[in-house]
Homo-oligomer: A and B are copies of this chain.
């Protein structure tokens, strides 16, 4: 194999040191000089080192720095699926905050899969990072605690019921939001037969279903078993659920979908079945994805604010990373809000 190996060698601190006529440790000190640094360096030396750095185009090697200093300048983030619109803004804003702190972000997709979530945690043992952001679906406080015990890495999470003593949380109060949304459908719109499209086995769906049922119960309304249909967060699933609902003996007059994509799927399906939204059936979604305001009829939905969530998650994480906060787990609520458009 003739494979010409790369001959080029990275410029190292020692190269800088040689050129500047000082030792490698002096270079290190010049470059890491902080205001409160105890060690003093002469102006002359600083000048020479900086010149040499510029002349050689030296950049510190973060791998070496990580190994030595236990600081990786890396965040790891686990979400369910990067191609789900809900996470874009969250990811985007986490990246922006990280970037301000000169951090890079490693992103993992779990696909709502327990195995993948576990694998993500293992990955962090292999490749140490300074902080972790997770959107947990299956793993629990115990799993994360094993990681924390072992690495001491700060962790923050999205969601409301992740009871770990040192994992900060950001959550939208979706149970209350769905409660209020259902209440609004009943009181303001006069609906009495309301269905719910769930995603079995996921916490958010379960919480929202709880809020929905509470509103119904308090209004003295019954939710027949067949009014709760399963989906999987996708447009197609929303369509399927809607068709099943509309084919019932006595179909509902309103449908609460546990996310916008399924709500959009329902509306499309209703149209295909020759019905009018909201006259024949009203639809309400959850998330307020950009598309919600553009479809016809525009979607009435319970808005979440993933950008704000991303920012808050990242900020709480950096407070811990930088030692500005070191107390017990905090929980920060990003409120949801009912956005009334035309679909209900």
Contacts and interface: CB of A to CB of B under 8 A. Distances in A.
Interface of A: 1, 3, 6, 8, 10, 57, 59-64, 66-67, 72-73, 81-83, 88-89, 91-92, 95-96, 104-109, 122-123, 125-128, 149-152, 235, 264, 268, 290-291, 294-296, 323, 326
B109 A106 contact: no
A326 B3 contact: yes
Nearest to A81: B92
Contact of A88 (B67, B83, B122): B83
Contact of A67 (B3, B67, B105): B67
A169 B137 CA distance: 37
Interface of A is mostly: mixed
A60 to B, nearest CB: 6
A143 to B, nearest CB: 14
B296 A296 contact: yes
A105 B106 contact: yes
Contact of A151 (B10, B107, B323): B10
Given A61-B126, A82-B95, A95-B109, 9 more contacts: A10-B125, A61-B127, A62-B126, A63-B63, A63-B128, A67-B67, A83-B89, A104-B108, A104-B127
Given A10-B150, A83-B89, A149-B8, A61 B128 contact: yes
Contacts of A62: 126-127
Contacts of A64: 67
Residue among A67, A72, A296 facing the most chain B CB atoms (10 A cut-off): A67
Residue among A108, A126, A128 with most chain B CB within 10 A: A126
Contacts of A264: 294
Nearest to A271: B296
A59 to B, nearest CB: 5
A60 B105 contact: no
A127 B63 contact: yes
Contacts of A150: 8, 10, 57
Contacts of A66: 63
Contacts of A89: 83
